[in-house]
Structure 1
């Protein structure tokens, strides 16, 4: 075994977050890493998990030491996540965005990245100011270089009264079947997985003195705003990633313990529909007026509702826009076979309960999974105007109504074509005055997963006894919307794969959580951190399977 550095960990305040600062001296091969005296949260690294790492498949003693270090320091690692949760980072309102960007830069500084920078991306093509993108480059003198994608922004808190604990507190609570989960906005989407990743990287450095690969970080603050700033950053600075060999990103397990690698992406276009008395030429033109005047004045609000009713059928599930379903590429037979296998024995009731819905549109598992993975939709995300106060009264005739919509689309559809068809539909139905304001458009991305980075993560899944879908050597979108396209041809073109242990839930909803102590087939935070370290060692070729001796 090569020698490594014994690291003395000291608390450092960066952006208000206690982090780990390293200083050390070279030690011999027999040195061990001792846990610092830190917070006593009583976290059980293994929780109540029924699965464990197959140590016969871990063939580098450094990984064993890293695992031990993670277990010894898991309380401090959870505190790191709590402190990050306590910093709001809401891209749609701007709350805490600049502070969060600087905090993320602090993470990269603490990791020892030689170059870190918070980039002001300026005005985007959608006419809005993009939020800062944080870049970090850790040159470890390694053979391979990976890009790691992060998002530091979160959704707003829209239903505060439904939370078990304050959304920016990071409280640890029991939530069956888990003894400890962390509740907080951004806990699973995506501060929990990302902090697990950062803790893992810091643990590797603490044990060995350096990372197994060179890393270039990209952390955006606009994921919940259609990645508008990230898109501009990549267009302006793609040269920063010319030497990247692959992209690795976060992921997690399903409530049942399985995992699917993150690679390609569906497309998503987001826009607002706006009806106003001023554009219509009827109803209140300058502002809301007293509701008593409805007896003699037209209502833009009712016009907006009538307009929306022309877009979908009575179920709300079938789009009535001419040509909307054109250009939908048939599912690859191999993907179809995977879905049918996944649907076999799929527990629809449990899946609905985990998601917090009464039932799915279809009671057939295959149909439901196909629609969620390879379907399209015209969603009504929200609508507002006029009297928006809960309870009470107040007669108002609104002058302006706005509704928000996201449309998920697949190959070979395009966001601009969909918007054009919606415009044509509105005009044909007499709604020429209704405005369409495009917020952003994220194209779909098809990728292969049978790549070196894909095999490294798949090898990790195997050693952690996590069931996962087989890798494929054909291009597929693979899953839900994320800005995969920026590294699969738009700005840079490299293999992409993400995946790790750990789990969470209630993204974009009340009581968002990240599992701290695992249960059943789901690993907790310590397992998530170990999985990241293992995947990186696999990719670096430092955890090769043992060869049989003659």
Structure 2
């Protein structure tokens, strides 16, 4: 029996105790966005740090302007090894009356299809995922007395409220977290039986726009016709952002973009991501993105622009015949590798200003902005991790893109120069951020085994 076989056997025999440790972590209501739970966030951080110290990992709380970061280091201090990132904070639980059981009293439930799941807030996002890695480290230490390679842990407490203090913390502590590779367990599998490594994340530019016309709201009977209506102006401009073919018409928007390798595109196009499987469950039937691009391309490797909110004038009950003086919208862009967030922001603002009619002015407020990130397709650690996942699950691990954004991955690349492998075991039906959040027991168990294999593979 190899050392890895012994580690995997230890994970299997220790599963009940692993669940006990996870449940203790889940019982702490570490809701980061609610000031009333600041003490609980600190308690969760202290709990995790103490657990890491029990494995021989030097761990403590590192202060930020908000909730503390758990920073731990185990293994040879002279070598770089890997950095593992996760978060201990959770989303609020509202509406509480939709929970079938108290959100911070974790339990095992059997679903109608026979799956056993862990139900609690944070079970999937992200405490359960964090503990898959911690338990894999625990098994290695139990069998061999040490970690298979140097491991640094960075577990933050503000991911669910924007990680606003993390970039500064990373910049100040870049030497302490420098590693050959970052590992993030805050993503999903492709399906219940197929593991996946997220190799590309779209970036983000978020803008708020306000157009002003008259110096006050106007009576539409007295001014309708001659007076400029900023809602009409705003919707006309935003409506012109997309052409009939679904492409974005902002000049220079697609500059610098390249397609993934042909073999990767071929694999993506073979995935079961069709209007029937992807759009029908949410009540839609026809893809609305770029014409000539598959759904999977539209999600994984093409940029987007969406209006996330729009308002102006009277929106209360009943009628009020008014021409508003102002109209506003929130607009987000999802970016892909090759696009510069600052350049996209300025191009959008120029696009709007050039289309403003007489008697109108515009004000912009910039919110988040982060570049897209992509793992080099020939990265040796990517191949090693993919092989390890395939061995555990018995199916080829997919390399996929993500339509979402995880800004910390861009921070690792920009501030520390690290590439990141995003390997998670969540499922689409985990109800993250919703009542009755769950994490499949199989995801938890095989997630631990997967990390044990990955650590072993990365150690060579």
If the length of structure 1 is used for normalisation, what is the TM-score?
A: 0.68
**Paired positions, count:** 446
Question: Deviation string for 1:263-295 (max 9, x for gaps)?
Answer: 4422111222235xxx545225xxxxxxx9666
Change (3 A) 1:68 1:167: closer
Match of 2:49 among 108, 114, 134: 108
- 5+ long unaligned stretches in structure 2: none
- Where do 1:361-380 residues align within 5 Å? 361=287, 367-380=294-307
- Where do 1:68-467 residues align within 5 Å? 68-80=12-24, 82-84=26-28, 86-90=29-33, 96=37, 99-112=40-53, 113-121=57-65, 131-132=66-67, 134-141=69-76, 145-154=81-90, 170=106, 172-205=108-141, 208-223=144-159, 227-242=163-178, 244-250=179-185, 251-275=187-211, 280-283=213-216, 303-304=230-231, 306-312=233-239, 313=242, 318-342=247-271, 346=273, 348-352=275-279, 356-359=282-285, 361=287, 367-383=294-310, 402-430=328-356, 433-467=361-395
Alpha-carbon RMSD across the aligned residues, in angstroms, is 4.1
- Residue number in structure 2 paired with 1:32: none
| Cα displacement (A) at 1:199 | 3.7
Q: 1-side partners of 2:344 and 2:436: how far apart? A: 32
| Cα displacement (A) at 1:409 | 1.0
SS at the partner of 1:148? strand
| Cα displacement (A) at 1:240 | 1.7
Change (3 A) 1:325 1:511: farther
Q: 2-side partners of 1:188 and 1:325: how far apart? A: 35
Q: Is the 2:30–2:88 Cα contact (8 Å) retained in structure 1? A: no
Change (3 A) 1:310 1:385: closer
Question: Deviation string for 1:403-454 (max 9, x for gaps)?
Answer: 3332111122121112112211221222763322222111112322544532
SS at the partner of 2:176? helix
Change (3 A) 1:162 1:187: same
Q: 2-side partners of 1:441 and 1:293: how far apart? A: 39
Q: 1-side partners of 2:127 and 2:439: how far apart? A: 12
* More helix, by proportion: 2
Q: Is the 1:62–1:208 Cα contact (8 Å) retained in structure 2? A: no
Q: 2-side partners of 1:203 and 1:307: how far apart? A: 58
Is 1:496 the counterpart of 2:423? The answer is no
Change (3 A) 1:429 1:366: closer
SS at the partner of 2:366? strand
Q: Is the 1:101–1:133 Cα contact (8 Å) retained in structure 2? A: yes
Q: 1-side partners of 2:103 and 2:197: how far apart? A: 29
Q: 2-side partners of 1:394 and 1:173: how far apart? A: 49
Q: 2-side partners of 1:478 and 1:356: how far apart? A: 19
Match of 2:6 among 46, 62, 66: 62
- Residue number in structure 2 paired with 1:51: none
Change (3 A) 1:297 1:362: closer
- Bigger mean CA offset, 449-458 vs 379-388: 379-388
- Where do 1:456-535 residues align within 5 Å? 456-469=384-397, 480-483=404-407, 484-488=409-413, 490-501=414-425, 503-505=427-429, 510-511=434-435, 513-517=437-441, 523-535=442-454
Question: Deviation string for 1:492-537 (max 9, x for gaps)?
Answer: 12343232545353566634633333xxxxx332222222222223
If the length of structure 2 is used for normalisation, what is the TM-score?
A: 0.79
